[in-house]
Amino acid sequence: MKRRNPQNQKNYSELTNSFFKKSSIYALNQIGNSNTIRRKVFWAFILIGGLVGCCSQVYRYLSAYYGYPVVINIDSVNYFNQIFPGVTICNLNSVRIQYLNCVIQRRDYENCKSDKYIGPDNLTAAVSWSSPYCFEEEGTTLSDEFVERIQFMSLYFSLDEISRFMYGHQSEQFIQSCSFNGEECSHEDFTPHPDNIYGNCFTFNKANETKNPLKTSFVGPNSGLTLELNVESEEYSWLTKSVGARVVIHDPYQEPTPEDQGINVSPGFETVLGLSRVAMNRLPYPYKDRCQNYEKGISKRHCDMTCNRKKISRFCDCSIPYSTLESGRYCNYNNITELCCVYQAQKEEGLEQKYNLILRLSSGMRTCEL
């Protein structure tokens, strides 16, 4: 067994005392130069308190750093060459009156003869429709206008897509003149967009993966898109209560939703619309927002609508009248069971509560879970 060399212990002690006395850390220096144990203990407590405070601050800042805090920076940037938005126009009248007879009799365009007009009494006779039980349970009285609209939609969506398009207003008659930044354009520059409320709609500056949107660097009433429209009021049926056009301004890559966006434009007047663009960019993972960019052409609204259609298709065994057919057929509003199923789904406490559906957030992106 080796004995400790007293000389080595003395050297270690002298080295430690020398380090403390010459240390640039004030507390260590005072510990080394203090002559009494009380003073050494006093400065030792001060040193320990300082180390604890320092470590707590380091932990605080490291926690904040790895928590990826969001810092909002607001910059005002002027770009003179901006992407021009998509512009979708719809006639408020979905079916021309000369073809209303064919819609009521459920005849397709090839077999249609528009030489006879059937009035509103015949619409009621064409659809055997009684008050649905889901409305009676809530003590709701349906208006005549609502009943007529439901009856018409039941007939309208029993037709094929080509017939619905041909029965509506056509772009060559609807769009009389067109110019973009002073350059002439025509109805051929518009992309058809079928809508469940307004029928035929037409989109200018529709962009996709192979077609980039137009850009503009001009401002003022003489720049941008200028249109002259003919709403063909003589072709309006009694189902349409207003005369004019629906105008929707949206992202060029996204599908328009005229039923809940846009404005109505009255005939006989000039309407000027000016826009200013506000862009907001949110930070992706690992920051708190955990945001991800949707693919081009997809928005939160589009995601919610798609999810709602899938839910209705799953539990009602039919698709709500939209441009996308989720199941094999559209819902028949003449069928009371299907009508009430869709009605319950649209309510605030509809399918989500009844079938315990959830709209799950996965990696910041909304997804449907049935």
pLDDT of residue 69: 72
Q: Look at residue 169 and tell me whether its pLDDT is greater than 70.
A: yes
> Which amino acid is present at 240?
T
Tell me the mean pLDDT in the region 216-241: 88
Tell me the mean pLDDT in the region 148-169: 87
Rounded CA-CA distance 315/108 in Å is 29
Q: In degrees, to the nearest 5, what angle opens at C-alpha 66 toward C-alphas 62 and 70?
A: 115
Rounded CA-CA distance 231/90 in Å is 9
Q: Look at residue 347 and tell me whether its pLDDT is greater than 70.
A: no
Could you count the other beta carbons within 10 Å of the beta carbon of residue 172?
A: 10
Dump pLDDT digits (tens) for 174-204. Answer: 999 999 988 999 999 999 998 888 999 999 9
Q: What is the DSSP string of 35-87?
A: SSHHHHHHHHHHHHHHHHHHHHHHHHHHHHHHT------------SSEEPPEE
Q: In degrees, to the nearest 5, what angle opens at C-alpha 265 toward C-alphas 119 and 256?
A: 90
Task: Using alpha carbons, list the distances in angstroms from residue 64 to 39, 106, 163.
Answer: 38, 66, 62
Phi, psi of 163 (to 5 degrees): -65, -40
Average pLDDT score over the chain: 78
Q: With H, G, I as helix, E, B as strand and everything else as coil, classify residue 89.
A: strand
pTM of the model: 0.70
Tell me the mean pLDDT in the region 141-151: 76
Among 60-69, 207-216, 229-238, which is the least confidently predicted range?
60-69
At 127, the pLDDT band (50, 70, 90 cuts) reads: low
At 121, the pLDDT band (50, 70, 90 cuts) reads: very low
Q: Look at residue 223 and tell me whether its pLDDT is greater than 70.
A: yes
Long-range contacts of 70-74 (CB under 8 A, 24+ apart): 70/283, 70/287, 70/288, 70/289
Q: Which residues pair with 360 in a beta bridge?
A: 367
Q: Look at residue 290 and tell me whether its pLDDT is greater than 80.
A: no
pLDDT of residue 350: 45
Could you count the other beta carbons within 10 Å of the beta carbon of residue 124?
A: 14
Provide the strand spans (E) within the chain.
82-83, 86-91, 175-180, 183-185, 190-195, 199-204, 215-216, 225-229, 245-250, 263-265, 358-362, 365-369
Q: Look at residue 8 and tell me whether its pLDDT is greater than 60.
A: no
Q: Which residues pair with 5 in a beta bridge?
A: none
Q: Look at residue 265 and tell me whether its pLDDT is greater than 90.
A: yes
Q: With H, G, I as helix, E, B as strand and everything else as coil, classify residue 26.
A: helix
Q: Look at residue 80 and tell me whether its pLDDT is greater than 70.
A: yes
**Contact present, 318 and 332 (Cβ < 8 Å):** yes
Task: Using alpha carbons, list the distances in angstroms from residue 49 to 16, 25, 27, 56.
Answer: 21, 14, 11, 11
11 versus 245: the higher-pLDDT residue is: 245
**Contact present, 332 and 158 (Cβ < 8 Å):** yes
The dihedral sign for the CA sequence 336, 338, 343, 344: positive
